[in-house]
Structure 1
Amino acid sequence: MDIADRAVDRTAWETAQAEHLTAEKAHTRAGDALAAARRRLPVTRVGPVRLVGATGEVPLVDLLEGRRQLVTYSFMWHHGRPHHGQCEGCTFSMSQVSEATQAYLAERDVAFAVLSEGTWAELAAYRDFMGWTMPWYSVEHALDEPAVAGGGQLRSFVRDGEDVYLAFETVARGTEPFDMANLLLDRTLLGRQEEWEDSPAGWPQTPAGGWWRRDGRPVAQWLRTDEPVAHATACH
């Protein structure tokens, strides 16, 4: 890879950028159209379900904290594993949900919460270790309700009185709205540097998500500790 071979003068650079902007704008408008269609999807009522949070057992409607809507993320959980053995992908995503993000969602009457199939004791310990502030809830005893079970899902709910309806659900790359780092990397010359990307020959590329874990820990955990990891455990 020789960056110098791609160099042009400022005028040629501006011309190429302007031509590319047409495609960027089309992509934005296509996203707007998808969002408009999403707002017209049907909803389905979620039956009675109780989750466990910091105050004990609560009904699903309490997760909305009196707000009209709720966005959740289902954190994949490995029962009994130490902190460094928990999901690097989910840690990658949730580490990018800031207090400001939650505050701005609240301004639009939207609550945010993390759901997980782990026990409340394990979830609370992990959240505290990571220094996160968002509400977490265990769905350990609600696994028969598909609207809250599972791992890796982004879901949105809407409330009508005391009834809660599931409005939208997505997985895999559909959860990328959480991943600001990826979206910023997409704007760089080298991109995410992952094997699936269509990049020029010679660009650095590694397995997808492989860089979310370093020296045995999800990368964000190194902001919380410098304790070495004797046996690395990846999320599978």
Structure 2
Amino acid sequence: MLPQLHRQPWMDSDIETFRDQVRRYIAAEMAPHLPVWREQGYIPREVWRPFGEMGFMLPELPEEYGGAGASLAYQLVVQDELTRAEMPNNVTVHSIASHYIMDFGTEAQKQRWLPKLGSGEMLVGIAMTEPGCGTDLKAISTRARRDGDHYVIDGAKTFITNGFTCNLLIVVARTGEAGSRGLSLIVLETENLPGFRVGRLLEKIGMPASDTAELFFDGVRVPADQLLGGVEGHGFKQLMGQLPYERMSIAVPAAAV
């Protein structure tokens, strides 16, 4: 029998029921596999498909994109329960990256990717950090050069959560001048993508089941309609706009620990 849940002040009976469902699913279907996932350094992507089908992946996703249209509290419950079970932060990053598409994507981009992200068919990551500049976004050197109706991406990223297992990736790249004004976000469907390569799975002090990888881009051609929002140079503004949600998504698992 699972331990009795402590009801938080912000929870109502529906959220409490949802939390119980999430906790039971994790205990039955995921926790028994955690030692193997820790040993291999990643959770297989197919694990997230049934998790999404249960409505746990992106419960806050609007109904028109296949979600439940639930309040953000439901996503935070998922993060809380995964952390309680010592699961890594794959869904946290998946939710953060999905919110970029939800908040800044064109309608066509939302229709194309959000239903698959909600169902768990796709797992998404966001590639910011680089070997030469860390998280200094203004110094990013990965470049996306416009070539007709495509962008050609060259560069490298490191410490990318979900980098080994994701099949959708939001890449922070330089499309213009130096500094913050020249950055854009470009979405890549990574499976069988020429010029895209996943490097090492990186060892960490904690969260050994969370895949953290090096990524390399060597002349990767991406259709121009995969520029997030459809306008160049908005990347830095988009990144700063998501920081409050990212910070909350880090704080909830930290409190859960």
Specify the TM-score bucket, using the shorter chain as the normaliser: under 0.3
User: How high is the TM-score relative to the length of structure 1?
Assistant: 0.28
Higher radius of gyration, 1 or 2: 1
User: How high is the TM-score relative to the length of structure 2?
Assistant: 0.26
In terms of fraction of residues, the more helix-rich structure is: 2
